[in-house]
Amino acid sequence: MKYILSISAFLSMLLAAATISAQTEVDQINDVVTQAKIRAHMSFIASDALRGRDTGSEGLEAAAAYVSSHFIAHGVDTMAGYGEYLQWIPFQEVSPSDSATLTIGGQTLTAPQDFLVLNGETQQSTMPGKYIGFGQEADLEGEDVRFQFAVAQVGDGESQAIGSVITESREKRERAIDAGAMGLIEIYHNVQVPWSMITRMAGQKQLSTDAPADKRHLQMPHIWLSAADSVVTSALLEGGTPIQLDMQGLQRSDLPSANVIGLVPGTDPELRDEYIVYSAHYDHVGIGRPDAVGDTIYNGARDNAIGTTAVMLLAEYIAAHPTKRSALFVLFTGEEKGLRGSDWFVEHSPVDLDQIKYCFNIDNGGYNDTSVVSVIGLTRTTAEEKLQAACNAFGLEAIEDPAKEQGLFDRSDNVNFARKGIPAPTFSMGFRSFDQEIFKYYHQPGDEMESMDFDYLEKYVKAFVLSAISIGNADENSFWIEGDKYYDVGRELYGK
C-alpha cells in the first residue's frame, strides 16, 4: 500500500519536530542551569574573601583559579598554545609623580595645581624652550629642537574631544623624541574638559601595557601645563627662556593580570573554524571608600559576578551539548580600568579576528525591571529575533538600551570587538532607566548577592544560555544592521 503524506501533514510534523527540538533545548538548559548553581558561583565570586576582585589583586587571581577549576571539571579545553586557561597581560601600574616644580622666567610653578607630569623619570634639568605650534609633522619641519624643551599647544588644532587630545599627545611625544627634544611641554586649554577635572583624573594610578623600546621614552619629561598663567605662557610662546624642571619621576611596578579563556570546539565540520566569543568581565573595583555602614569591599555581585557566573554555566552547558561553531569563553580582567583586558584580547587574539563571527558579551550595572532583559545593541545586529525568542522562552522580553545617554555600548568590553568590526551586543539585567534603584548599588560596597532576586537571575541566565546557543548553532551568522556605525568596518573585516 502506497502511503501518501499530504503537504499539510508534513508541515505539521516539521512544526512539531521544531517545537520538540526547541523544547529539548529549554529542558536541557533547565537541567544544567539551576538556581543552586547560580547561588554557589555567586557566593564565591562576589564574596568578601575576593576583596572586590581588583585588577592585579590576589582576589582576582583566586577568581581566575575558580573559573579555571570549573572549566577543568566540565571538560572545557584550553586554547592551543596556552598551557592553562590564562592569557597573562603584562600590566604595569604607573603611579603619578609625587612632586615636581617648573621654573620659567623666574616664576615657580607646582604640580599638580599648575602642571601635570605625564611621563618621565626623576630629574633636574635646565634647558631653553622652543615653540612648535601644535607639534604636527609640518610644525616640526626645519625646526631644531635638539637639547631643548619642545613647547606646543595641546591637541591638533582641530578636535577638542578629550580622547583625540590624549591620542594626539602620545603621538606628539613620539615626534618630539624623534626630533631629538629633551622634553615636551604642552599648554593645556580645552573647553570640553576643565583643568580641575584633568588634575583629578591624572592623580590616579594608571595601568599601562606600553613596553617602551628605548630608555628615552621612559626618561623624557612630558608635561601638560595649565594655560592659566598668561605671563608664563607668553614667555613660553616667545621661546628662548630657560626652563628649569625638578621632578620625581613616575613610579612603575609590574602588575600582571590574566584573561581566562576556555574553548569547546564546534561539531560542524564546515563551521568549526568559526568562533563565537561568549564574554564577561570578572574583575571589579576592589576595596575603596567606606559606605554609610562602614563596608569597604566592593563585591560587584551585579557587576559582574552574575555575568561571570552566566558564562561559566554556558561553558558547562556547551561542553555537554556542543554547538556547530566553536565556542570561546572569555572572562576579561581590567574592564573597570578602561576595558583593558578585552583591548588586549582583540590585539592578541588566539584566533584570527575574522574567524570570530560574533561576540556575545554579558555585563551588568544593576536592574529595576524583572520582566525584561536590556540588551545593549539589541537592534544593531541581525541576531535580534533570536535573542528575543530566547528571552521569551523564559518569560522575559528583550528590550534595547533604554538609557542611551549613558553611552553603555561604548562602556563595556563589547566595544573593543565592535571597533574591529565584530558584531557585539551586551546582555544586561533588565532596567528601564539609570535611576536611583540602579545607583544604589552601582559601584557601591552594597552590590552584594543577598540583595538580588534569584528567581529573576535564574530566568535571566537561562535566557542568556539559550540566546548564546542559538547564535552558535545558527545557519547564518548574524551581522551588523546596514547603516550601523560598525557596518563598514565589519564588511572589511570579513571581506564581504
- The SS3 of residue 131 is strand
Label the pairing between strands 275-281 and 92-95: unpaired
Q: How far is the CB of 378 from Zn ion (least distance, A)?
A: 18
Which of residues 302 and 325 has its CB atom nearest to Zn ion in the complex?
302
- Which of 54, 363 has the CB closer to Zn ion? 363
Could you tell me the smallest distance in angstroms from the CB atom of residue 229 to Zn ion? 41
Give the gyration radius of the chain's Cα atoms.
Answer: 26
Pick the stretch among 298-306, 311-319, 368-376, 413-421 that binds Zn ion (CB under 5 A): 298-306
- Provide the minimum distance between the beta carbon of 280 and Zn ion in the complex, in angstroms, as a whole number: 8
Q: Are 216 and 183 in contact (CB under 8 A)?
A: no
Residue 96 Cβ vs Zn ion, minimum distance, rounded to whole Å: 25
Number of residues that bind Zn ion (CB under 5 A): 3
Name the grid cell of 115: 602642571
Residues 150 and 179: beta-carbon distance below 8 Å? yes
* Burial degree of 106 (CB within 10 A; 0-12, 13-18, 19+): exposed
Task: Count Cβ atoms within 10 A of the Cβ of residue 8 and give its class: 0-12 exposed, 13-18 middle, 19 or more buried.
Answer: exposed
| Region for residue 431 given its phi and psi (left: phi exceeds 0; alpha: psi -120 to 50; beta: otherwise) | beta
Kindly tell me which residue out of 186, 283, 303, 316 binds Zn ion, with binding defined by CB under 5 A.
Answer: 303
Is the distance from CB of 130 to CB of 152 less than 8 angstroms? no
Q: Report in angstroms how near the CB of residue 336 gets to Zn ion at its nearest.
A: 7
Stretch of 59-67, 143-151, 170-178, 356-364 lying at the interface with Zn ion (CB under 5 A): 356-364
CB of 29 or CB of 408, closer to Zn ion: 408
Find the binder of Zn ion among 274, 283, 363, 401 (CB under 5 A).
363
Q: Check residue 304 for interaction with Zn ion (CB under 5 A).
A: yes
Distances (CA, A) of 392 to 152, 304, 330, 378, 384: 57, 23, 26, 14, 12
- Segment near Zn ion (CB under 5 A); pick from 78-86, 208-216, 359-367, 397-405: 359-367
Q: Stretches 41-49, 161-169, 232-240, 296-304: which one binds Zn ion (CB under 5 A)?
A: 296-304
Tell the smallest beta-carbon distance from residue 198 to Zn ion (Å): 25
Question: Angle at Cα 469 formed by Cα 463 and Cα 473, nearest 5°?
Answer: 145
User: Smaller CB distance to Zn ion: residue 188 or 298?
Assistant: 298
Quick one: 304 or 388, whose CB is closer to Zn ion?
304
By CB under 5 A, name the binding residues for Zn ion. Answer: 303-304, 363
